C-alpha cells in the first residue's frame, strides 16, 4: 500500500477537526469534503513539486514548488494536513484545460529524468490525477474555498 496524497476542499472546520482528532468518519459522515483529488500514484511528496514546476510551461508563470506554498496544520509521523496558499491554487488553475494531457506528459518526462532507473509509464491514472487536481483548484478559486493537502 502506498502513501495517500490527496487534496480536499469543503467544510474547513470539519476537515481540520477530522484530521486533528484522527476521526475520519467526521469527514465522510458530514459531507465535509466537497471535492477531492487523489494523487496517490505510488509517488513521494516531492513528486508534487515536480508537477508544480512542470505546470509553469503551460500557465506561463514562474516555476514554483507546492511545498513553498503550504501551511502545516497537522504534522504527525504517519499523516499530515496542510493548507495550500491561494496563490498556488490559482497558479495551478491557470493551466488551460486543453493542456492538462500535455502537462501530465511533461510531468512524466520530468519524473523519468528524476528517476532514470525506475520502470514506469505515463498512465491514464496520472492524466486523471492532473485533471482532478486542476478541477479542484479551479473550483476552489471560483468558490473561494480553502484547498487542503492531506498525506497519510
Phi-psi region of 81 (alpha: psi -120 to 50; beta: other; left: phi over 0): beta
CATH code that applies to domain 5-151: 3.40.1760
Place of cell 487534496: 7
Answer whether residue 1 shows pLDDT above 60: no
pLDDT of residue 31: 82
Closest CA to 87 of 122, 46, 52, 120: 52
pLDDT of residue 48: 98
C-alpha–C-alpha distance, residues 19 and 8, integer Å = 12
pLDDT in tens, 15-59: 999 999 999 888 887 789 999 999 999 899 999 999 999 999 999
Q: Is the pTM of this model over 0.85?
A: yes
Place of cell 523519468: 112
- Residue 98 to residues 68, 69, 101, 133, 142: CA-CA distances in angstroms? 27, 25, 7, 14, 19
Beta strands in 12-140 (DSSP E): 33-38, 70-75, 80-84
pLDDT in tens, 83-136: 999 999 999 999 999 999 999 999 999 999 999 999 889 999 999 999 999 999
Burial code (b: 16+ CB inside 10 Å, e: under 16) for 44-60 equals eeebbbbbbbbbbbbbe
Amino acid at each position: 500500500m502506498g502513501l495517500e496524497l490527496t487534496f480536499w476542499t469543503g467544510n474547513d472546520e470539519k476537515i481540520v477537526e477530522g484530521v486533528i482528532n484522527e476521526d475520519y468518519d467526521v469527514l465522510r459522515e458530514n459531507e465535509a469534503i466537497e471535492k477531492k483529488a487523489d494523487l496517490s500514484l505510488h509517488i513521494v511528496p516531492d513528486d508534487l513539486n515536480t508537477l508544480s514546476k512542470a505546470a509553469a510551461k503551460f500557465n506561463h508563470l514562474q516555476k514554483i514548488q507546492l511545498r513553498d506554498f503550504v501551511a502545516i496544520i497537522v504534522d504527525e509521523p504517519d499523516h499530515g494536513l496542510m493548507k495550500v496558499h491561494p496563490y498556488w491554487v490559482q497558479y495551478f488553475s491557470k493551466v488551460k484545460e486543453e493542456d492538462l494531457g500535455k502537462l501530465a506528459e511533461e510531468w512524466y518526462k520530468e519524473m523519468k529524468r528524476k528517476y532514470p532507473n525506475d520502470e514506469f509509464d505515463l498512465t491514464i491514472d496520472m492524466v486523471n490525477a492532473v485533471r482532478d487536481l486542476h478541477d479542484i483548484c479551479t473550483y476552489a478559486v471560483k468558490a473561494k474555498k480553502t484547498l487542503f493537502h492531506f498525506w497519510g
